[in-house]
Amino acid sequence: MSDRKSQNRPVKVFSGSLWQAQVIQGLLEANHIVSILENETLSAVTSPYATLGGEVFVLVDIRDRDFAVKLISTNSLSSVPYN
């Protein structure tokens, strides 16, 4: 894998419910960090049945990981950031 490709890969910075992930995504966007949600559709399908899972991941570019984790933890949105 080239250096350029390895710099542009998404990494998980948060996992939780759909609404929590959307709040995190809004915080990141407000701080100019592009993010995507993974498992968003699955969560919407399983959310009425909380015991079935439905965990959603927030992913950011690896270059933004440290800043994203710092934002999430300093805003008390996650007791333990995803590493």
Does 24 or 55 have the greater pLDDT score? Answer: 24
- The pLDDT value recorded for residue 4 is 57
Tell me yes or no: is domain 8-72 CATH 3.30.70: yes
Distances, alpha carbon 58 to alpha carbons 3, 12, 14, 31, 40, in Å: 24, 6, 5, 15, 10
pTM: 0.72
Domain ranges of the chain: 8-72
Mean pLDDT of 17-39: 94
Mean pLDDT of 2-20: 81
Mean pLDDT of 12-18: 92
Distance in angstroms (rounded) separating the CA atoms of residues 72 and 29: 12
- The pLDDT value recorded for residue 80 is 45
Query: What single letter denotes the amino acid at residue 58?
Result: V
